Structure 1
Amino acid sequence: MAGSAHATLAGLRRERRPRDPAARVRGPWATAPLAAVAAAYALAQLLLVRPGMGLGWDETVYVSQVSGHAPAAFFSAPRARGVSLLVAPIASWSSSTALLRTYLAVLSGLALYVSLRAWRRLFPVRVLALAGALFASLWVTLFYGPQAMPNLWVALGALTAVACFLRARDRGDRAALWGLAASATLMAWMRPTDAVWVTLPLLALGLVRRHWRALCVLLAGLAAGAAEWVIEAYVSYGGLGRRLSAGSDIQGGLGWHFAVPDQLRSLGGRALCRPCTGALPHPLITLWWFVLPPLAVLGLAVAVRARRRAATTLALACAATAAFPYLFLIGYAAPRFLLPAYALLALPVAAALLHLATAPRGPWRRAALALVCVGLAGHLAVQLAVLARTVDGATASHRDWSRTADRLHRLGVRPPCLLTGRQAIPIAFYTGCASAATSGHNANSSVAVIARTARRMPVAVLVPEGSRPPAYARHWPVSRFDDVLLYHAVPPARSTRAGSRTPAAAPDPAGPDAGRRG
């Protein structure tokens, strides 16, 4: 058995790179199909995911860390500050959500092009273009492209890292080493734990095959990206072990959980499936998930015949390790968690689809090509339908937060101010207030501190209708808004000026910051 494994590894080392017809094309036209896919991806985000959709809950946490328009929200243990740094060039001076979304859409389109181009020496351009189109057309890829969230950036970093690691075996490819360092840093910068899971096969292969140079560059990139997260663990969380433990608690306790059905339920457009109950989406929505594994296996078989076994095997291995914790170690689901796996699986799936469309001879060739085209068209239609429904739901939810913020402004709760209670974190961002919690995963204050704060600045408690407010707020004025009771306390010095004072600038969820809210 050991001899067989050695022979397989030796075969991977002797493997020839496939000839790419596009390699004969010189200049910028060689990668024009990849640029077209990336440009279409960026444009589709701007057209289909409304730039003025407003920021989601997690986005408000990341953006508030660098925004000058709202205090920083509590930063829980699992989060990393990569997204905050990514959005800083816009969020640090503008509260325009439309501008931020446009910036992220263009940036993600450029990143997709770079990620696909890194594979050019390993796969034909036609395979890469189809792989990019398959990945970019998933509703979850389109939905999160212009959002201030880390998962897509881990996916694009993973796609680049695997290609650069393979190319780094060529001692003359210095660009691959720089690409490997940058992509590893990006992944660890965004989500350090995800970066480790993605790169496990790369680390193992580097040790077994003694690719010391690539291995050292990979480790250096991971260390550089995770350095801030580790330092912060000791400064703010009591050490690395305690931060990892706190992160595990927030995720429901890492352990054996069969979350595959949960991931299936989330494919219908549920951004977070926790708890993940209810019926599965329509079979047409989940069909592509069941087609994915056999196509990946067929892609591996095609790769063996085309002498691309090393590249395809490593992509599949990294996809498997990236997906493993989210399928088997946590008890809830979100479709964005599997974006790194989808990005890597797109390569063998694209190769398999091209093989199915072009391999048959004679009269069967047109039938096979037509079948593949019809299947892809149906898949795209389903993805766009789910995307439209998801965007509508998110827009409505964010608009409700904005309306609540407007109501609070009219009640005199204006910056500087403090919010606590139901959905306090996102609503506080929209209002321009700080947020506080006395229990739960985002606990960062106490009842005594909140009560003292109410004596010097406006404080509001958001309570679901039918629930009781905290004892310190029961004597405060209350206003009903939709299904929420707003208990608010405005110090006399502030309330006497409420009618004449212009509220401080709060982030505008719908467009440029030309007007002030309230």
Structure 2
Amino acid sequence: MANGTHAPLLGARRGTTAALPGGLGRTRGDRLLLAVAAAYVLAQLLLVGPRLGLGWDETVYVSQISAQAPPAFFSAPRARGVSLLTAPVTSWSTSTPLLRVYLALLSGTGLYLALRIWRGLFPTRVLAVAGALYATLWVTLFYGPSAMPNQWVALGALVCAGCLLRARADPADRAAPWGLAAGAALMAWMRPTDAVWVSLPLLAVLVTTRRARPAAALLGGLATGGAAWIAEAYTSYGGLGARLAEASRVQGGLGWNPAVDDQLRALIGRTLCRPCSGALPAPLITGWWFALALLALTGLAVAVRARRPGPTLLLLACATTSAVPYLLFIGYAAPRFLLPAYALLALPAADALIRLVTAPGGGLRPAAATVAALGLTVHLAVQYVVLDRTVDRTAADRREWTRTAALLHRVGVRPPCLLTGTEAIPVAFYAGCSSANPRGNNANTTAEGIRRAARTTPVAALSRPGGPPPPYARGWTRVPAAGLDLHLAPRPADGGEAP
């Protein structure tokens, strides 16, 4: 803080930039955090690349406001935040590279702002290391330029926790409640249920300390961000309870489903582990997961010793509640589910790491620094290898969807058109078609509805190579393809068979 008034209130430690004269500390700290954010953007563009095609879930979100294809079926757990976030590009352009660059820049900016809020609560060097730790995880790099919600829940959680601490420390700080409301709205805008889980410790703090203004800001932000999702529950699902029940069904039934081992299996680069079977990855792949938790707990010990455990305790509490549903209540795994926990744990982990390599220890300090440097080098190498393999694998899948869409166009299935069957949602987006299915989690029509559409619209059913077509597509013309077989409905124009 330029005037230094916040440092004593927040218990800032010696070495924070708030203690430096004038604006010098602020300028240097901002540059350091900007450098971390810029490096994160650059790493996304170089290692993931702007030409990576859109994934299944991305096509659902993007199609809601898209110049490329009609809206795909939007299931109960999803929220409209990503669709609106990407609308400035998708509403007028079909360029995936442009969308990737836009999202990479946006995620880098978001990381910078989220870290900057913590200035004065932790030394700037801790914030920079925390940002680097978070930004170099393969899952953070992979989903930074992705049209997916979890990264934004993570950044919103950091903003909320930091602004709450600022609001408590200085009731005259008018910006902090607005930041708290904005962070809560961002989380709820993206994933309302995740926002509630993250906010539980924040609400507990506000209730016990009886701070009305920050409490109103948090609750107002959650209500603002979740309002559309709640309204849609009543207009499309028969009420909030009905939507939550349907969301539970789509996710396999929420209940006691410990999935810690599933999350470990997913660390090898499985973007969705459902069902999640097979052996656990090598310790070299999963080691960082345990190291992050251990460092975060060490960070708590450091904070207790410094007699300022409040910020670290809040971070650990929010990280725990954000992870609980995905570790205990959902019977499958995806690495992106835990991004909020990783972002929140990065700060105490960085605090511990810096303390371990700079604490007075005579001859032990060089040894600690060497071990830390070697550990981080191995960590970065592992993250790069997993990221590289994940990008290669997902890029191959998405190129297959592109080829299938091109084949559909060649055989006469062009917009306006309708696809159904296996992987109909992503292939339909690539082909510019609508998608529909009479069964499964994305059921939004009936078999008769598909037959009726085939009388006036080019329709194709997709199936696994050599597999049977859906029952309503029996007798349609099969066109074998490398990844999926196409079953073409009779031409609407003349009622004859498709070529």
Normalised to the residue count of structure 2, the TM-score between the two structures is 0.95
**Cα distance in 2, alignment partners of residues 492 and 316 from structure 1:** 60
Q: 486-495 vs 370-379, which deviates more? A: 486-495
Question: Any stretches of 5+ residues in structure 1 without a counterpart?
Answer: 1-12, 500-518
Single out whichever of 473-482 and 246-255 deviates more from structure 2.
473-482
The CA distance in 2 between the partners of 1:471 and 1:321, in whole Å, is: 45
Whole-angstrom CA distance in 1 between matches of 2:495 and 2:90: 30
Give distance in 2, aligned partners of 1:157 and 1:40.
21
Distance 1:342 1:451 in 2: 48
Q: 2: CA distance between counterparts of 1:15 and 1:115?
A: 18
5+ residue gaps in structure 2?
1-7
Counterpart check, 1:188 vs 2:188: yes
Q: Which residue of 2 aligns with 1:325?
A: 325
Q: Structure 1: how far apart are the matches of 2:471 and 2:210?
A: 64
Contact 2:157 2:187 (C-alpha < 8 Å) held by counterparts: yes
Deviation at 1:257, TM superposition (A): 1.1
2:437 equivalent in structure 1: 437
| Residue type at the aligned position of 1:128 | L
Question: After superposition, what is the alpha-carbon deviation per residue over 1:57-95, rounded to whole angstroms, capped at 9, x for unaligned?
Answer: 000000000002200000000000000000000000000
Given the alignment, which residue of 17, 20, 38 partners 1:22?
Answer: 17
Partner of 2:104: 105
User: 1:172-213 CA deviation, whole Å, 9 max, x = no partner?
Assistant: 211111111111000000000000000100001100111111
Look up the match of 2:146: 147
Q: What SS does the corresponding residue of 2:420 show, helix, strand or coil?
A: strand
Q: Distance in 1 between matches of 2:17 and 2:143?
A: 31
Distance in 2, matches of 1:78 and 1:17, equals 40
Q: CA deviation at 1:33?
A: 1.0
Runs of 4+ in 1 over 3 A off after TM superposition: 492-496
Shift of 1:28: 3.0
In the TM superposition, 1:50-61 aligns within 5 A as: 50-61=49-60
SS in structure 1 at match of 2:480: strand
The 1-side partners of 2:144 and 2:324 are apart by 23
The one-letter code matched in structure 2 to 1:154 is V
- On the 8 A contact 1:457/1:490 being kept in 2, the answer is no
1:128 aligns with 2:123: no
Cα distance, 1:151 vs structure 2: 0.2
Report how far residue 281 of structure 1 moved: 1.1
SS at structure 2 position matched to 1:445? coil
2:305 is aligned to: 305
- TM-aligned CA distance change 1:87 to 1:494, over 3 Å: farther
Distance 2:286 2:478 in 1: 45
Give the counterpart letter for 2:137 in structure 1.
L
Which residue identity does 1:342 align to in structure 2? Y
Partners of 1:228 and 1:94 in 2: CA distance: 25
Q: Using CA pairs under 8 Å that are at least 6 residues apart, name the structure with larger relative contact order, 1 or 2.
A: 1
Structure 1: how far apart are the matches of 2:226 and 2:109? 24
Alignment of 1:91-240 (within 5 A): 91-169=90-168, 170-240=170-240
Aligned equivalents of 1:304, 1:473: Cα separation in 2: 66
**Structure-2 residue corresponding to 1:335:** 335
Give the whole-Å Cα distance in 2 for the aligned partners of 1:336 and 1:353.
24
How many Å apart are 1:432 and its aligned residue?
Answer: 0.4
Q: Partner of 1:255: helix, strand, or coil? A: coil
Structure-2 separation of matches of 1:460 and 1:107: 37
Tell me: CA distance 1:484–1:21, structure 2 relative to 1, closer, same or farther (3 Å). closer
Residue-by-residue CA offset, 1:448-498 (whole Å, 9 max, x unaligned)? 1110111111000001234322344222221100153211125253899x9
* Amino acid in the other structure paired with 1:369: A
In 1, are the aligned partners of 2:111 and 2:155 still within 8 Å (CA)?
yes
- Post-superposition Cα deviations, 1:239-296, rounded to whole Å, max 9, x if no partner, equal 1000000000111111111100000000000000000001111210101112222211
Instruction: Find the counterpart in structure 2 of residue 278 from structure 1.
Output: 278
